[in-house]
Amino acid sequence: MASTTSRSKYFDNAKFILIFLVVFGHVISPYKDQDKILFTLYSVIFLFHMPAFILISGYFAKGFRKKGYLRKAFQKILIPYFIFQIIYSIFYFLVGKEKTLEFDLFQPHWSLWFLLSLFFWNLLLYVFARLKWIGLFIAVILGIGIGYFEQAGSFMSISRTFVFFPYFLLGFLLNGDHLKRIIGAKFAIPTGIFILMLMFLFFGFSFPQNAVPWLLGDTSYENMGGMQLTDGLLRALQYVLTLIVVFGFLPLIPSNQYRITKIGERTLYVYLFHGFIIKSIQSILPNSFSENYLFLLAFSFMVCIILGSYMIKKYTRPIVELKI
């Protein structure tokens, strides 16, 4: 990360790896309850992949005070959300996932919650950026506190907006020197490998299946098995554990140029379109590849390569970025 170019390659590589984990996590999701290995992979992936993605998004939101930033956020985030919310509503009806065709713009389909929350996180910066590290403390308190409100759920992505906002704000507050110290520390790489291995062992032997909703952050404590006063402490522990894994993961990202690096610039296309492929195949061939780990990995990789290609961007850019 010694130069602007290497930093760009680093973040593009990070975004490609993270979008691959997003796709792979969604591919194995239907099979995780019947396979211990897939459940462990799914749990570890969902512990840190979206927080890492969100942290990087926050890191690149430092220009929010520039003129026209909010207008661009509305154009590039909120309008595509509404467009794809409508498209996914039609798609779910056609594949039989929904019995009736309904358009609910405030109940995000599947992975579209990220766009809605991303828009709200950018809005929240206008308040929390002024508070700096005190704002991060307040954001954590809000992320913990939202779980005590039973009504807070997926509607307008309210729960996830507050639960994941601390990662976005932390990314905003971090600067290049902070990241350089984390990534370039003397034993950063072996420490990162050790942390990930430890997490796989811990989740493989100790993480209960009914605790998966905690990783998703889309509902209240009450809806995750009954609210207890100590649930806030569990979420605080989750924040700590997640950040340990995120900062263990970041030093493992290379800064070199690869063929997949360019796809890191087009992760939004992979994120928006991969659901159509995965849901279609799962509706046609349910449980056909649940035990073929190599196929699941290769399939997820190919989805990223195809959807992150120049051709996909060229022909879908009008509805993704509203550009012709």
Between CA 14 and CA 263 the distance in angstroms is 11
How confident is residue 290, by pLDDT bands cut at 50, 70 and 90?
Answer: low
Give the pLDDT confidence of 295-319 residue by residue, as tens digits.
999 999 999 999 999 999 999 999 9
pLDDT attached to residue 1: 45
46-63: buried (b, 16+ CB within 10 Å) or exposed (e) per residue? bbbbbbbbbbbbbbebee
- How far, CA to CA in Å, does 179 sit from each of 7, 134, 153? 10, 20, 33
In contact, 255 and 1? CB cutoff 8 Å: yes
Q: What is the mean pLDDT of the chain?
A: 91
Amino acid at 10: Y
pLDDT attached to residue 36: 93
- How far, CA to CA in Å, does 291 sit from each of 35, 162, 166? 8, 36, 37
How confident is residue 7, by pLDDT bands cut at 50, 70 and 90?
Answer: low
Between CA 21 and CA 45 the distance in angstroms is 7
Residue 47 makes CB contacts below 8 A (sequence gap 6+) with 199, 203, 215, 241, 242, 245
Q: What percent of the chain has pLDDT over 90?
A: 75
Give the residue-averaged pLDDT of 28-38.
91
Between CA 69 and CA 75 the distance in angstroms is 10
Q: Considering only CA atoms, which of 1, 22, 48, 58 is closest in space to residue 264?
A: 22
pLDDT attached to residue 286: 66
pLDDT attached to residue 282: 81
Between CA 182 and CA 95 the distance in angstroms is 46
Give the pLDDT confidence of 76-113 residue by residue, as tens digits.
999 999 999 999 999 999 888 778 888 889 999 989 99
Domain ranges of the chain: 4-320
pLDDT attached to residue 297: 95
Give the pLDDT confidence of 187-245 residue by residue, as tens digits.
999 999 999 999 999 999 989 888 999 999 999 999 998 778 899 999 999 999 999 99
- pTM for the predicted model, two decimal places: 0.94
Residue 324 pLDDT exceeds 60: no
How confident is residue 5, by pLDDT bands cut at 50, 70 and 90?
Answer: low
pLDDT attached to residue 100: 84
Give the residue-averaged pLDDT of 124-149.
96
Residue 64 pLDDT exceeds 70: yes
Per-residue three-class SS string for the chain: CCCHHHHHHHHHHHHHHHHHHHHHHHHHHHHHHHCHHHHHHHHHHHHHHHHHHHHHHHHCCCCCCCCCHHHHHHHHHHHHHHHHHHHHHHHHHHCCCCCCCCCCCCCCCHHHHHHHHHHHHHHHHHHHHHHHHHHHHHHHHHHHHHHHCCCCCCHHHHHHHHHHHHHHHHHHHCCHHHHHHHHCCCCHHHHHHHHHHHHHHHHHHHCCHHHHHHHHCCCCCHHHCCCCCCHHHHHHHHHHHHHHHHHHHHHHCCCCCCCCCHHHHHHHHHHHHHHHHHHHHHHHCCCCCCCCHHHHHHHHHHHHHHHCCHHHHHHHHHHHCCCC
Give the pLDDT confidence of 231-289 residue by residue, as tens digits.
999 999 999 999 999 999 999 999 999 999 999 999 999 999 999 999 888 877 766 66
∠ CA 237-242-246, rounded to 5°: 155
Residue 17 pLDDT exceeds 60: yes
Between CA 140 and CA 165 the distance in angstroms is 8
Give the residue-averaged pLDDT of 64-69.
90
pLDDT attached to residue 155: 92
Residue 39 pLDDT exceeds 70: yes
Between CA 121 and CA 128 the distance in angstroms is 10
pLDDT attached to residue 192: 96
